[in-house]
Structure 1
């Protein structure tokens, strides 16, 4: 009876200790603040489909460390994560300099660089110029000139050359060495061979549409692309600009451009049998003598000579009428009258440019919150200051980019640092 009581008490004590420990762990878990990890996505809202309402793809990627414990085991890489092709090769969408300089977890997309405008003074015609004419008679005088009676000529006499024949030996083929190759010796060995080297590939994702591919500084009015291929720049006096093919494509697709990010893929190995060279091939040299032959050669004792004699030309003198000034009509121009008018024109057309932009791989909610606070202080409305990279935040940053003369569209690293937020 006593033993049963002791066992029952020990069991109850163990249950109490376990319940206390579980309660403490639950309390600690409940008291811990919920912090979103840096790798958690910060983009909210579903981007528009490619080309349908202005949203284009954002290209990003991730860096994974290779498994160095066993080179024979392949790392699991999902098919279709990235476009085919290594970083050293060509890429279907990215320019060569972006592919060359990109580092893992960087995201790239096209932004629109605004046109450069200038105000200039233009003269407007008030009264056209007029022309008055008058005719002047021909003027002449008597003059003398020499007329050739017989041209200059040259008489030539050829003195033939003096030659003789000699015979001499000539080397047809120089002495040389012939090499005989002794083949190498091989043996079989089992080795771990790399079947696919480590490489870097690109991942694509969609950007966020702002509603306008390009806006004006200050008033932030959207720039329109017309059906005739011209670009209408709004203002007090609208400016019409001829856009190139790349600018037209950018404006038709909208402000949210495709973003690319670089991804590292580890090397793949497998065990295989290889033939290894044990003794290298050797070479034995054999001398080949020179081959000569007799040839006939013509020696010139004295070169052929040509003797020339020049007979000068003969002339006679005659008089003729020399026209000093032909009959002509003179025109007198009364200049036109103009007035000066101020106009605006584009010095440089807008163009799409590639820049590094923010995405879930290179930023955190805390950095997005810093950007939203900085935009609010500058007088731009980014929406709620909640650390979420949404449409209102991207649109507010686009207005800041327009006012600062920076390329517009997605939030570039360049624009964030111009706002005072350090990304790296």
Structure 2
């Protein structure tokens, strides 16, 4: 006689799946070279304890370069007259003008990102004409896009609010 096979019920299957996913996430390793702050968050080497960080990757800038290259030089007769003009070929290649860059950015810690704080961000961006959505306290796509519009002229094309931007908006006290 073969032993019975256990099949989870339909109600138990989602719970079992969630438990398996939770076990898998415990196996995820941090990126090599990244240290963690005391709170267990990823941070760059030497980051002060209790600070929160994120990485921003700016894409490489690639330029297409087209040039005319001499295929055959002109042929001249003994008197220097052109018998056959030079011929050229067009070559096109791509060059990396600026390589991809990863940079660490200090961000407000997750416990600061309360609905009240996010509403304050939305109001500050609305006052600057960068956000036109509802002030609802959720960091949605429209809010992230407004943050990105605010930070792009400051040199960071990211929808993740940096601590420096939050200070510049007057939302977080500047360390004295």
Residue 371 to residue 361, structure 1, CA distance change in 2 (3 Å)? same
Mapped contact 1:413–1:423 kept (Cα < 8 A) = no
Structure 1 residue 82: deviation in Å? 5.7
Task: Quote the Cα distance in structure 2 between the aligned partners of 1:83 and 1:382.
Answer: 39
Q: Give the alignment partner of residue 124 of structure 2, picking from 358, 374, 382.
A: 374
Q: Give the alignment partner of residue 99 of structure 1, picking from 20, 42, 45.
A: 45
Residue 79 to residue 377, structure 1, CA distance change in 2 (3 Å)? closer
Cα shift readout 1:147-181 (whole Å, capped 9, x = no counterpart): xxxxxxxxxxxxxxxxxxxxxxxxxxxxxxxxxxx
* Residue 141 of structure 2 is aligned to residue 388 of structure 1: no
As a proportion of its length, which structure holds more strand?
A: 1
Structure 1 residue 358: deviation in Å? 4.2
Cα shift readout 1:128-156 (whole Å, capped 9, x = no counterpart): xxxxxxxxxxxxxxxxxxxxxxxxxxxxx
Structure 1 residue 99: deviation in Å? 3.3
Residue 354 to residue 105, structure 1, CA distance change in 2 (3 Å)? closer
What is aligned with 2:162?
412
* Higher-Rg member (1/2): 1
Structure 1 residue 408: deviation in Å? 2.2
Q: SS at the partner of 1:99? A: coil
Residue 385 to residue 95, structure 1, CA distance change in 2 (3 Å)? same
Structure 1 residue 391: deviation in Å? 1.0
Structure 1 residue 400: deviation in Å? 1.0
Task: Quote the Cα distance in structure 2 between the aligned partners of 1:353 and 1:397.
Answer: 18
Task: Quote the Cα distance in structure 2 between the aligned partners of 1:423 and 1:389.
Answer: 21
As a proportion of its length, which structure holds more helix?
A: 2
Mapped contact 1:358–1:412 kept (Cα < 8 A) = yes
Residue 229 to residue 361, structure 1, CA distance change in 2 (3 Å)? farther
Task: Quote the Cα distance in structure 1 between the aligned partners of 2:25 and 2:57.
Answer: 30
Structure 1 residue 379: deviation in Å? 0.8
Over the aligned positions, Cα root-mean-square deviation in angstroms equals 3.7
Cα shift readout 1:346-401 (whole Å, capped 9, x = no counterpart): xxxxx442102246344211111111000000111252111101111111111111
Structure 1 residue 228: deviation in Å? 2.9
Larger RCO: Structure 1 or Structure 2 (Cα < 8 Å, ≥ 6 residues apart)?
A: 1
* Residue 157 of structure 2 is aligned to residue 399 of structure 1: no
Q: Give the alignment partner of residue 110 of structure 1, picking from 27, 51, 56.
A: 56
Q: What 5-or-longer segments of structure 2 have no aligned partner? A: 1-23, 37-42, 62-92
What is aligned with 1:228?
94
Write the mapping of 1:338-377 to structure 2, written as runs, cut at 5 A.
351-358=101-108, 360-377=110-127
Mapped contact 1:106–1:361 kept (Cα < 8 A) = no
Structure 1 residue 416: deviation in Å? 1.4
Give aligned pairs, total: 113
Q: What 5-or-longer segments of structure 1 have no aligned partner? A: 1-77, 85-90, 116-226, 231-241, 248-350
* Residue 98 of structure 2 is aligned to residue 243 of structure 1: yes
